[in-house]
Amino acid sequence: MKIKILGSGCPNCNRLEKNSIEALKELGKSVEVEHIRDYGEIMSYGVMRTPALVINEKVVIAGRVAKKDEIKDLLK
């Protein structure tokens, strides 16, 4: 499983990263979360608004901070 956070490093992007890491820990999954800050790479995913959550190369959330429980549901 690959998890990526797309965003410049703004507070919302960092909050999505934190929520994702917490969700993974609660599910007992040891997966590295990569934070992509390069705008060219972010655009390659077709994301126009950040933050965005990518699971296994598929954008599942964009333009908002997902809550930990929502992320857990997506990871199951």
Residue 53: other Cβ atoms inside 10 A: 27
DSSP secondary structure string, 40-72?
Answer: HHHHHTT--SS-EEEETTEEEEESSPPPHHHHH
Indicate if 46 belongs to the active site.
Answer: no
Q: Which of 1, 2, 10, 11 is catalytic?
A: 10
**Which one of 6, 13, 47, 71 is the catalytic residue?**
13
10 is catalytic: yes
**Residues catalogued as catalytic:** 10, 13
